[in-house]
């Protein structure tokens, strides 16, 4: 009997030690609900933009924009990168889809080439990812030049007429004659009609 009493006291001691260890493990770290003053609120290294939909805030003029805007070679390169970096996945070929259309004059975050550049680099809320450090800066400027040309604001001589990998039945909208085309009727071209 004495041995049974000794075993039960050992079991009790072990149970008490286990209970003490369990209670000590439940003491969680203190996590304040409000961040300390001056503490970062986002993940380290994430650029947060101060732009919001509506009236765009003026973007500082960037001297690099002049080299890309309206430049036929840069726009052509941007058209290639637009496809390579899968901008067509959201914006399709400029007509919009998951992302907003790029072929009209309604720009959520501004239609200047600097603002388009900022949208690509910083991303935008509700879907536009930030491509900073993912696409080289020169290629972002080229994509921005191409996107700006989609809205019909590029010079007629600089706007791309077709992608190198596919033919178009019509030229881009900014190369079309706003008065319409005049000429022979379709019946006259085929030799029919009177």
Prediction pTM value: 0.54
Q: Is residue 132 part of a domain?
A: yes
Number of structural domains (the chain) is 1
Q: Is residue 125 part of a domain?
A: yes
CATH number at residue 89: 1.10.760.10
Judge whether 70 and 158 are in contact, CB under 8 Å: yes
Q: Is residue 150 part of a domain?
A: yes
Q: Is residue 187 part of a domain?
A: no
**Per-residue model confidence as pLDDT tens digits over 52-78:** 565 555 556 788 888 888 888 888 899
**Per-residue model confidence as pLDDT tens digits over 9-47:** 888 888 888 877 777 766 566 666 666 665 555 555 555
């Amino acid at each position: 009997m004495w041995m049974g009493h000794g075993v039960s006291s050992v079991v009790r001691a072990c149970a008490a030690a286990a209970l003490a260890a369990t209670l000590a493990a439940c003491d969680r770290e203190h996590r304040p609900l409000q961040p300390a003053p001056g503490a970062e609120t986002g993940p380290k290294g994430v650029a947060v933009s101060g732009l919001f939909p509506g009236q765009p805030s003026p973007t500082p003029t960037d001297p690099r924009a002049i080299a890309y805007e309206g430049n036929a070679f840069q726009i052509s390169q941007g058209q290639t990168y637009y496809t390579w970096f899968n901008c067509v996945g959201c914006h399709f070929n400029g007509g919009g889809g998951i992302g907003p259309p790029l072929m009209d004059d309604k720009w959520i975050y501004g239609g200047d080439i600097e603002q388009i550049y900022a949208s690509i680099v910083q991303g935008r809320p509700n879907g536009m990812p930030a491509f900073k450090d993912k696409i080289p800066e020169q290629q972002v400027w080229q994509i921005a030049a191409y996107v700006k040309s989609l809205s019909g604001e590029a010079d007629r001589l600089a706007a791309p007429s077709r992608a190198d990998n596919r033919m178009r039945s019509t030229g881009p909208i900014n190369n079309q004659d706003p008065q319409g085309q005049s000429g022979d009727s379709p019946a006259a071209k085929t030799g029919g009609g009177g």
